[in-house]
Structure 1
Amino acid sequence: MEENKFENDYVIGQKNANYNQVMDRIEELNRLVLINKEWKKNIYYGFHARECFDVCYAVGKAKAILVYLHAGYWQSRDKNQFYFIADHLAELGYHIAIMNYPLCPEVSIEKIRTSLSYGLLTVKTYLNDPSNNLPMYICGHSAGAHLTTELVLNAKEIIKDQLNIKGIIPISGIYDLEPLISTSLNIKIKLNQIQARNNSPILRVSKDLVPAEFFVGNHETQAFIQQSQEMKDQWELKGNAANFTILKNSDHFSLLFHFLEDGEIVESIERLYNSTT
């Protein structure tokens, strides 16, 4: 019974009837932003075919860098499915780096994290203005939200001294991985209990971390909502600044439309920028 519950919490229950409609809209928006903005594709930060990122350049003078990590439960999806998140942010002065990374089961979650740590350094080197050390913000969705928090927890000194990361925006993340062990997702992730705990950032939140803006959709399963709420609570418990927002009329993918103009995610990124620079 418990195994069936977790399968519903993290797989079946997250599927919505409007999924195809949402993805069609995202595909349309992706086509438009590729036409309307300046891009550089497939900048490599390692030797693996997926160790690369695409850049959407800020319109006018850049004020900050935003790194985006895509969803897919560490085992699927691609940067080219989420270009649209860059459209309005570029208008506001952000360079946006949309990252790919190696996937399970070819590599472990630990390897993905290590790979992306090199990716952040490459993004910073590639996009930074020598005359103005641009602040960096990391934003991730679902598995990307997990990786966002993992990068912050495992690279505090690099973040402070080199990357100038000022905040993170984890969207609809999984921060306790133990419930995934008994689900179909684990066929490719291949977690045992020890690995699940070692890769659960909620168990390792510490002090002196950057501010975090946690998001989840109100039409997601209660398990997803609870994961974000509890991660935000842990962030604050250790003395770090954090906010938690449940986005109305939003499921696991439609919440990404809050990257469009006047969306709550864009507003939170702007608040983070204004409060940390």
Structure 2
Amino acid sequence: MDLSDTYANAPYILDAEQYPPRWAASAAAYRDEMTARGRLRAGLPYGEGTREAFDLFLPEGRAKGLAMFVHGGFWLAFGREDWSHLAAGPVARGWAVALPSYDLCPAVRISQITTQVARAVTAAAAEVPGPIRLTGHSAGGHLVARMLAPGMLPEAVAARLAHVMPISPLSDLRPLMQTGMNEKFGLDAAEAWAESPIAMPAPELPVTVWVGSEERPAFLDQARWLAEAWGCGLVDAPGRHHFDVIDGLTDPESAMTGALLA
């Protein structure tokens, strides 16, 4: 069975083509604002590759801790510069926010991206003391969930994790083997299961799975599977679809920002 349409979002979202340019414009405006205020440290390296870098947005005064947003795009698209505006909510509430880029399939495998994100978390943690809160969207939701695998992060960094909030995450990668995207992922049964958060032990720290009520059934299932496997909280955001479910991170007073930082 071909599941390509099952995991396609854009054909089922009104004016979907308008979202990427809107994201880019909002991200550029926020980067310009924070650069002018001297509160953006751009392109901090966490590895040797050109995409192995993160941007760090700083609040006024001493940061309460570190939040990180990991972008989605099915491990195939986008970079940190496309999502800068999603740092705005936590930054306004006194948190430093890191946004990493990572290499994309098919140049690398999903398992390699997971390792890259672990290095990014570790490097960002060295820049900002205090508790760490991770969130990510879609493929980024998968990646932040994977940070909770035993031994994924150095012990001292893992001990600082206070909350992880996967947004519309991909938690079981096995169905993706039946999509056209797998020509670029190259997933086999072993890697698909090894990279699936539902196959991991349930973490002991707080986790909140967040998903939009208007998302495709496959993404509602993926969110539910993770919440059930880990016995953690599941928020079904009314009226939100896969492209606008992340908007709350731009607003310091939103339920999403509040939940991440609670």
Measure how far apart 1:211 and its partner are: 0.8
Q: What is the aligned counterpart of 2:179 among 171, 180, 183?
A: 183
Matches within 5 A, 1:96-245: 96-128=97-129, 134-155=130-151, 158-159=154-155, 164-206=160-202, 208-236=203-231, 242-245=232-235
Query: In the alignment, is the contact (CA less than 8 A) between 2:69 and 2:87 conserved in 1?
Result: no
Query: In the alignment, is the contact (CA less than 8 A) between 1:180 and 1:186 conserved in 2?
Result: yes
- Counterpart CA distance in 2 for 1:243 and 1:111 is 28
Measure how far apart 1:110 and its partner are: 1.3
- Counterpart CA distance in 2 for 1:163 and 1:45 is 20
Matches within 5 A, 1:56-95: 56-95=57-96
- CA RMSD between the two structures: 1.9
Measure how far apart 1:251 and its partner are: 1.1
Equivalent residue letter for 1:82: W
Measure how far apart 1:235 and its partner are: 1.1
Equivalent residue letter for 2:15: N
CA offsets per residue over residues 40-82 of structure 1, 9 Å max, x none? Answer: 1111111111110001111222101001110011121111110
- Counterpart CA distance in 1 for 2:55 and 2:116 is 16
Identify the residue that residue 258 of structure 2 maps to in structure 1.
Answer: 267
Give the TM-score of the pair, scaled to structure 1. 0.86
Aligned length: 257
Give the TM-score of the pair, scaled to structure 2. 0.91
Cα gap change, 1:14 to 1:145, in 2 (>3 Å): farther
- Counterpart CA distance in 1 for 2:246 and 2:92 is 17
Cα gap change, 1:14 to 1:166, in 2 (>3 Å): farther
Query: In the alignment, is the contact (CA less than 8 A) between 2:135 and 2:166 conserved in 1?
Result: yes
CA offsets per residue over residues 144-170 of structure 1, 9 Å max, x none? Answer: 110111111143673556651111010
Identify the residue that residue 18 of structure 1 maps to in structure 2.
Answer: 15
- Counterpart CA distance in 2 for 1:68 and 1:191 is 25
- Counterpart CA distance in 1 for 2:223 and 2:193 is 17
Equivalent residue letter for 2:64: K
Which protein has the bigger helix share? Answer: 1
Equivalent residue letter for 1:167: H
- Counterpart CA distance in 1 for 2:60 and 2:157 is 28
- Counterpart CA distance in 1 for 2:100 and 2:40 is 13
Equivalent residue letter for 1:231: L
Equivalent residue letter for 2:92: E
CA offsets per residue over residues 101-149 of structure 1, 9 Å max, x none? Answer: 1111111111111122222111111223xxxxx1011111110110111
Moved over 6 A (4+): none
- Counterpart CA distance in 1 for 2:76 and 2:31 is 25
Task: Could you tell me which runs of 5 or more consecutive residues in structure 2 were left unpaired when the two chains were aligned.
Answer: none
- Counterpart CA distance in 1 for 2:157 and 2:20 is 39
- Counterpart CA distance in 1 for 2:194 and 2:11 is 25
Cα gap change, 1:122 to 1:255, in 2 (>3 Å): same
